Amino acid sequence: MSIQTPAPAPITATGTQPRNHDGQAIAITVFSTIKLWGRVFLPVLFFVTRRIPKLTGTLRQLSFIHFARWTVIGKLPYNGPPQKKGRFRYPHMYFESNFNGGWEEYIDAFSHILTDGMTAFWGSSYGFPKPLPTAPFKRYIQDNETEADHYYCAYPEATSTMIQRSLELDKKLVALKRDARRMDPDAFAAAYRRFLTDAQNAL
């Protein structure tokens, strides 16, 4: 029996290259070359997923993934000489995403949970090995991944889940402060307990 290509072992605590993370957030940037049929298929796929948000509901539920974005690029913006003008011979898929946690866990989520979606988005790329099994998929992503030159996070201490929950908490806290002015001590005690119960997952 043959042996799988080894899955990459963590390079840093986050499992990715040092310049790919800032604070709690990790960036991933992957380029792949698209087969000709992808030029026709992918715009249709992008159109459909934008029109039917339900299709990407699972991706949204995985709160450790901030966002995932697939773009087809046919040429690079012209920045003047010595760059040559013109289009790529083949279009390329430009994938970018930000997430919290480990690189391995991130790719595992794509492999095991978003299996069909991954096949739809990457199936037309050359060399794509299918999302499962995970070892060749991880190898593919790692081989096509580009380390960021610069990556910046506005809130390095926080993850996107923490920021979202802090925003929810802020609304509740503002409301409590507003209402508290009209409360006697007993009413405030009861309101405070309600607030703690209601906001406990943001505290």
Partner 1 sequence: MASVQIDLGDIQGDILRAYGNDYDNTTYAFVKIECPPEQARAWFHGVVDHVTTAETWPPGEKPLTTLNVAVTAPGLRALGVSEDVVGSFSREFRAGMSSRSELLGDVGPSDPNSWEPGLGTGDAHVLLTINAKQAADHQRALGKMKEAMDAVGGLRIVYQEDTELLPGAREHFGYSDGFAQPAIEGASDDKARGGGVPLKDGKWRALAAGEFILGYPDEDTRVDPKKRLPNAPAAPLGRSGTYMVWRKLYQDIALWRRVMRDAAKLYEGGDEHLLSAKVVGRWTNGAPLVKYPDEEPRGYDPKTAEDVNDFRYDGDVDGMRCPLGAHIRRSNPRDALAAVAGPKGVIGFDGHLSFRHRMIRRGMPYGRVLPEGVTEDDGVDRGLVFVSFQGSISRQFEGVQVQWLNAGNIFGLGHDKDFLLGDPHGTGKMTIQGKPPFFLAPQEVFVRTRGGEYLFVPGMTALAALADGTAG
Q: Is the peptide bond before 82 cis (omega within 30 degrees of 0)?
A: yes
Nearest to 64 by CA among 191, 168, 163: 163
- Here's the x/- map for partner 1, 43-82, by CB under 8 A: it reads as ------------------xxxx------------------
Q: By CB under 8 A, which span of 6-14, 31-39, 72-80, 172-180 interacts with partner 1?
A: 6-14
- The answer to whether residue 127 forms part of the interface with partner 1 (CB under 8 A) is no
Give 24 or 98: the residue with its C-beta nearer to partner 1.
24
Alpha helices, H only, 52-159: 57-61, 103-112, 115-122, 134-144
Q: How far apart are CA 27 and CA 150, in angstroms?
A: 10
Q: Does 20 bind partner 1 (CB under 8 A)?
A: no
C-alpha torsion 17→19→22→27, nearest 10: -70
The distance of closest approach from Cβ of residue 142 to partner 1 in the complex, given in angstroms and rounded to an integer, is: 14
Bridge partners (DSSP) listed for residue 73: 92
Q: Is 134 a binder of partner 1 (CB under 8 A)? A: yes
Cβ of residue 200: shortest distance to partner 1, in angstroms?
4
CA torsion angle 81 84 85 91 (round to 10): -140
Q: Which of 77, 82, 178, 201 binds partner 1 (CB under 8 A)?
A: 201
Find where tokens 């610069």 sit: 150
User: In whole angstroms, what is the distance from residue 29 CA to residue 181 CA?
Assistant: 50
φ, ψ of residue 111 to 5 degrees: the values are -70, -50
Pair type for strands 92-100 and 21-22:
unpaired
Q: Is 1 in the site for partner 1 (CB under 8 A)?
A: yes
Shortest separation between residue 44's beta carbon and partner 1, angstroms = 28
| Interface region with partner 1, contact rule CB under 8 A, candidates 5-13, 40-48, 142-150, 172-180 | 5-13
Binding to partner 1 (CB under 8 A): which residues in 22-41? 24
Write out the residues near partner 1 by the rule CB under 8 A. 1-7, 9-10, 12-13, 24, 61-64, 100-102, 104-105, 108-109, 112-113, 132-135, 157, 159, 161-162, 165, 193-194, 196-197, 200-201, 203
